[in-house]
Chain A
């Protein structure tokens, strides 16, 4: 596994520099650095002055918005100032390195001081990639006079030369090569391989070519000969354990509260479900009750219909019986009429009679050869009599005798009697609707033997026939007693007749004197 850290070998080809440039006055590189440094220093001074002004303004102002704005500007300036400081420090480091390598000119005092230091310094061997020593620091001074210079740039966070160990510099006695070595950490590019090159133009306008001379693996970073494992801080570990235990308790408490809350909500929902179910059950019960009432009503209605049907059948039977009775009475009347033919003062021509039936009348009659039909064409209406029910008014009353008029009235009375209706009442308390009040029995307009209602009685000026007149009189006495009203608060004292039915003569005879039953 190749690591992203790459050692780059930077080769910079520069224009030849003369030895005089190194020995007398600042070198081009130094001048370039100083030229770069001066504006930065100026800018730094300006920023410091501005920063001081801003800080004083910030202290004096009371406006919050201005303070915030000033703070932002201050932060920006601080960042810019920090950046400038880093650049200055980097440049200073480079200058120091160059001076250390003797690649930059120094003043006479500095040279003197450096000579004293050099006497005390240990020589630093330069080795190539294979670890061979190829030059010493002493050689660098010699190289400084060559046309090609060697510059060593170290990145800001780069490790030292001692740590690098294998930093190489291709220095030969005859070669004129300047190697600019830069340690760069390329974290993103993992495809870098040894031999890869790249070119760019530096700040001085020089064309710089970089060559990757080594790509090492970070695994090699670890070396058990250099590292060992020490025990961790037990106190800190215990604090962490306590913190974890505290977190557990907090989360447990939170979860407990959530569970209780959920349980409370669930119980509330269940109660609501129960209430809804109870309401539903109540509704169903009410519906069932209503259904039962409806069924009861339907049953009662069916009963009433059945009773009406029976009553209709009974009425039809009664009607049939009455028709039969009427028919029988008509036949009887007709027979009676036929029996009177030729016997009264009123000759009646019976179209169905024959001379054989009445030989005497036939003998007194003028015998003609007229057909029987002609005889029928000559009846006198005044001498005709009705047959059966009904009556007719004679048109020749002037010629009739008094006996003849009396006979007509009797006949009319008889017919009226036959067609008159006989009423039956219910003896009820006064002021109540029919069927709902107190009933004291039945009362007939005429005596009704079948019901044993033959005692005459008078109710509200209406003569009636009842079963027990004494009992009714006792009721009348009771109505006048002082305790009656208290004992019977819902009953009105007295009698009233409520019409029950009206029967014609035949029905009356059938029900009251025949076999019929009401």
Chain B
């Protein structure tokens, strides 16, 4: 009987507290972070689609340089660690997997060291010899952010006044600038930017980490699909003399 009374008192206190202090956005965000900590962070990795199929564009070996993080904002507010992988590394791995499965190149390798700071011809040759590659892809991550905005009226509790449902539009913006460089000739074979925005509907109180992960992976897939199409169509053509 005493436990029941204690429980009722606890519930009543919570309701009164929530009614007196409506849930703020910051508190809601902390709840989201808590959910990520509890349920586990999602991964950025996914299996690239086999379609569309590309013809081999370059019968050469290309190396994927680590993606440079050029963002001005974290992924979500002041936190940037909502995924299993660090975001630049996750994007680099995704770029590697996508280009490897695209068959646009004869061979795709992963590079760990950046290009020489002064990329003159001699340095590029040395880099080429060192890594046994013909081309490199240098990519800059311009945007990789999640935004949320209200998609409807906040619904408050009938008696408590606390926010019980906050319809939101979740958006994941991904923007990438990439360039393909031929090391031996120093030719900028291709350069272009791709950007995508993935959107989904979610309630604030039920924004699950896997929903964020799924939306992010879907958006990344679209970004790299665009990248491959542009590279296939816009990359300079190798012509035999």
Contacts and interface: CB of A to CB of B under 8 A. Distances in A.
Contacts of A263: 151-152, 167, 201
Given A232-B237, A270-B165, A277-B158, A255 B199 contact: yes
B134 interface: yes
Contacts of B12: none
B8 to A, nearest CB: 14
A244 interface: yes
Contacts of A267: 152, 167
A269 B205 CA distance: 14
B230 A229 contact: no
Nearest to B236: A229
Interface in A217-254: 218-219, 221-222, 224-233, 236-237, 239-241, 243-244, 247-248, 251-252
A259 B239 contact: no
Nearest to A271: B155
A247 B203 CA distance: 27
A266 interface: yes
By size class, the interface of chain B is 35 or more
Nearest to B229: A240
A229 B169 contact: no
A232 B61 contact: no
B222 interface: yes
A255 B200 CA distance: 6
A190 interface: no
Interface stretch (B42-50, B69-77, B180-188): B180-188
Contacts of B213: none
Interface centre among B187, B233, B239, B240 (most CB of A within 10 A): B233
Contacts of B222: 247, 251
B100 interface: no
Interface in A1-57: 1
A228 B167 contact: no
B93 interface: no
Contact of A230 (B132, B134, B164, B237): B237
A1 B237 CA distance: 25
Given A240-B233, A244-B229, A266-B203, A226 B241 contact: yes
By secondary structure, the B interface counts as: strand
B49 to A, nearest CB: 13
Contacts of A232: 233-237
B60 to A, nearest CB: 6
A404 interface: no
Contacts of A248: 196
Given A225-B241, A232-B237, A240 B230 contact: yes
B85 interface: no
A228 to B, nearest CB: 6
A310 interface: no
Interface string B174-211: 00000000101101010000001111111100000000
A255 B199 CA distance: 6
A354 B217 CA distance: 131
By secondary structure, the A interface counts as: helix
B238 interface: yes
B199 to A, nearest CB: 4
Contacts of B159: 277, 281
Contact of A270 (B155, B169, B196): B155
Contact of B201 (A222, A243, A259): A259
A1 B106 CA distance: 13
B132 A252 contact: no
B237 A244 contact: no
A261 B151 CA distance: 11
B237 A229 contact: yes
A244 B167 contact: no
Contacts of B234: 232, 237, 240
Contacts of B189: 229
Contacts of B201: 258-259, 261-263, 266
B82 to A, nearest CB: 21
Contacts of A225: 241
Nearest to A280: B158
A501 interface: no
Nearest to B219: A251
B74 to A, nearest CB: 23
B236 A230 contact: yes
Interface of A: 1, 218-219, 221-222, 224-233, 236-237, 239-241, 243-244, 247-248, 251-252, 255-256, 258-259, 261-263, 266-267, 269-270, 273-274, 277-278, 281
22 contacts: A222-B59, A222-B184, A224-B185, A225-B241, A226-B241, A227-B239, A229-B187, A230-B237, A232-B237, A236-B233, A240-B234, A241-B230, A244-B230, A252-B199, A255-B200, A258-B199, A266-B165, A266-B201, A266-B203, A270-B165, A273-B164, A274-B155
